[in-house]
Amino acid sequence: MIGLTTTSRLLKALAEETRLRILHLLAQEELSGTDLMEILNMGQSRISTHLTLLKEVGLVQDRRVGRRSFHSIAAGPAAGMWESLLQESEQAPEFRADLAGLEMLRQRRREQSRAYFDRVAAAFGEQLLPGRTWEGLARAILQLAPRARYADLGIGDGLLTLMLSEIAESVTAVDISSEMLGQLNQRAKDKGIDNIVTVEADIEDLPLADRSYDVVVLSQALHYARKPERALEEAQRILVPGGRLLVLDLLAHSEDWVREKYHHQHLGFTEQALEALISEAGFQHVHVQRAARDPQPPHFMTLVATGAKG
């Protein structure tokens, strides 16, 4: 039950076009203030003022990641009020224009990520990368002994893909970077490996058939996903019943510079958050553990998570 005073404050907050546009955008996905400034073509001060008011009335919440804040819709009794207003105005030209701006933002991020991987493909294996430790890889491989059909989603330098090919019936290697896939194809050819199939695609939207793989691997790939839950749902979809999921990723950290240098979308995950993401995607028997700590500063910690499709 919402009291009259709260209702009055909510109505005042909603009686402004820009705030309705902000709520409409945040209903699509979590966004930073910079994202909103770009989409709405407004200054920082104006966006901040509106966000502050929306937070005060309980319509918006913040999530702090490093030096950045991300905003999303807050759950609660007030949600129903603005949802009904948005539904009535769903076809408003301003809303449609904002959705077009959001899609342009998403596309720019995808292109930046793809360009980064294309640029560093040749030297990728020689760089110090967050979470890339031999111990972490070795511990993961121990869990992948059966000869089976593997899908490696987000291959990076392809090292794990090549290792999997030695024990697999087949490996489907998925990445958004044609350059990364080209490097992998050449290395496989040089080694005489013929059981790897490469697919250029987003791990959140896989062009792969339902129930077609026995094991799905996401090695240091989930933190690149705009929506990690979507990548995990796709992994669940392509697995056969009883199929296994293996995830290697970074423990949550505060090294915000990896966003610019490596185009990470997320600064790792806590054990609890990763377990929840995997479970909510439909996996059973989920287990998450710390696997290895990078020997060089800033000493990124790698998590290993497993799950099974029921």
CATH of the domain at 42: 1.10.10.10
- Residue 126 covered by a domain: yes
**Distance set, CA 271 to CA 147, 247, 276 (Å):** 29, 12, 9
Calculate the average pLDDT of the chain: 89
Of 90, 105, 133, the residue that ends a domain is 90
- Residue 191 covered by a domain: yes
pLDDT, average across residues 66-74 = 89
| Residues 39 and 168 placed together within one structural domain of the fold | no
| Residues 152 and 262 placed together within one structural domain of the fold | yes
Of 75, 90, 105, the residue that ends a domain is 90
| Residues 86 and 152 placed together within one structural domain of the fold | no
- Residue 105 covered by a domain: no
69-70-74 Cα angle (round to 5): 120
- Residue 177 covered by a domain: yes
Nearest by Cα to 221 from 182, 184, 186, 173: 173
| Residues 148 and 212 placed together within one structural domain of the fold | yes
| Residues 58 and 199 placed together within one structural domain of the fold | no
| Residues 176 and 59 placed together within one structural domain of the fold | no
| Residues 129 and 83 placed together within one structural domain of the fold | no
- Residue 103 covered by a domain: no
- Residue 111 covered by a domain: no
| Residues 206 and 261 placed together within one structural domain of the fold | yes
Residues 156, 110, 45, 27: is their CA dihedral positive or negative? Answer: negative
DSSP conformation letters of 6-26: HHHHHHHHHSSHHHHHHHHHH
**Helix, coil or strand: residue 27:** coil
pLDDT, average across residues 134-142 = 60
Structural domain for 78, as ranges = 4-90
Q: Can you give the pLDDT at residue 265?
A: 93
- Residue 99 covered by a domain: no
- Model confidence, pTM: 0.66
For the chain, the domain total comes to 2
DSSP conformation letters of 47-104: HHHHHHHHHHTTSEEEEEETTEEEEEEPPSTTHHHHHHHHHHTTT-HHHHHHHHHHHH
Q: Which residues, including other chains, have CB under 8 Å from residue 12's CB and lie 6 or more apart?
A: none
Separation between Cα atoms, residue 107 and residue 131, nearest integer Å: 27
| Residues 82 and 126 placed together within one structural domain of the fold | no
| Residues 150 and 68 placed together within one structural domain of the fold | no
Residues composing the chain: 310
pLDDT, average across residues 129-153 = 71
| Residues 191 and 45 placed together within one structural domain of the fold | no
Q: Can you give the pLDDT at residue 134?
A: 63
pLDDT tens digits, 93-116: 999 999 999 999 999 988 888 887
pLDDT tens digits, 18-41: 999 999 999 999 999 999 999 999
**Helix, coil or strand: residue 152:** strand
Pairing of strands 213-219, 239-250: parallel
Number of H helices, E strands in the chain: 12, 10
Q: pLDDT band at 190, cuts 50/70/90?
A: very high
Separation between Cα atoms, residue 278 and residue 285, nearest integer Å: 10
Looking up tokens 């496989």 gives: 188
Separation between Cα atoms, residue 244 and residue 215, nearest integer Å: 5
| Residues 50 and 139 placed together within one structural domain of the fold | no
Structure tokens at 246: 């293996």
- Residue 8 covered by a domain: yes
